[in-house]
Amino acid sequence: MAGPTATGKSGLAIELALAARELGRPAEIISADSRQVYRGMDIGTAKTPSVEREGVPHHGLDLVDPDEAFSVADFARHASQVLGDLAARDPEAIAILVGGTGLYLRAVARDLDTGALPADPGVRAGVEAGLERAGLRRAVERLTSIAPRLAVKTDLKNPRRVARALEIALLAGDVDRPTPGAYGGRLCWLGLTLDPPTNREWIAKRARNQFEAGLLEEARDLRDRYGAESRSFSAFGYREAFAVLDGRLELQAAIDEDVRRTVAFAKRQRTWFRSERSIDWIDAAADPLNAALPRLRAFLDA
């Protein structure tokens, strides 16, 4: 299940898992969110509270500490293990892969060859140091100069994507990214969508609720344990929470900046998912469960 952030994907996934159970098909959920893999980052990543997950097994959550590296290849291996274990336990069971990290979804549902892209921690550290020192614009200029084909297929507004593309270019040259293959099992790809103004309203409401629910305290505890420089803390809300804790931003200004960054991210997600084929889109504001249930039944009956 795909879609921009703050469209209700996690909640709908739980409802569909419970509905599948009523139809005699056990279901488990795999979170495809590149920030929810981190332990302790609960409020800021909108991780579904454990009480709401009761009765529906969840995977892909709390896999590593915030100061540990975690890649799309790591996620693909984790998801593959979960899918294999689920099939061995119950061939009739289904998995609901849900999240807004498009590359994670593609790695599993499209069988992306994550091992085909080279990686080197030393090279990546040098690239990230250069990005921090010289800024995104210079990094984009460097990427465009040494790997123009790769640059065309990279989100040049996203520092993490630019850094990864530079790492690939330095290790392998101006190579093409792997072409997605075909997932070996049956697949029903649903997507939740909202018109941008409504999506912004939902994002703003969630941001306010996160700060009210204790995001400042969560951020303080995480920074005390891991420092402020972990890449995982680029997740929306944490940078702004640190600024409040340090007296650099007032609370409302921090919420506004959180909303601004998240809205921009949601726009990039919509662009990404437009390139995916065969997504069956559902309006998140118009009773999405009622719209999704016939798709679920048709999938189970096929």
pLDDT, one tens digit per residue, over 222-272 is 999 999 988 899 889 999 999 999 999 999 999 999 999 999 999 999 998
For residue 206, give the CATH number of its domain.
3.40.50.300
Residue 203 within a domain: yes
Whether residue 138 is found in the same domain as residue 204: no
Q: In terms of domains, do 211 and 296 share one?
A: yes
Q: Token pair 């997932």 is at which residue?
A: 183
CA 130, 135, 136, 139 torsion-angle sign = negative
**Nearest 5°: phi and psi at 96?**
-110, 105
What is the total count of domains within the chain? 2
Question: 41 and 139: one domain?
Answer: no
Query: Does the structure show a pLDDT above 70 at 74?
Result: yes
Q: Which residue type does 268 have?
A: R
What is the token pair recorded at 24? 């005699």
Shared domain for 280 and 190, answered yes or no, is yes
Question: What residue type is 224 in one-letter code?
Answer: D
The pLDDT value given to residue 87: 92
Confidence label for 181 from pLDDT (cuts 50, 70 and 90): low
60 and 136 assigned to the same domain: no
State the residue range of the domain holding 194: 9-115+179-301
Angle ∠(152,158,160) on CA atoms, nearest 5: 105
Region 23-31 average pLDDT: 96
Report yes or no on 39 lying in a domain. Answer: yes
Pairwise CA distance, residues 150 & 163, whole Å = 12
pLDDT at 183 (0 to 100) = 63
Q: Hey, CA dihedral for 138, 231, 51, 218, is it positive or negative? A: negative
Boundary of a domain, candidates 140, 155, 172: 172
For range 90-96, the mean pLDDT: 94
| pTM for the full predicted model | 0.82
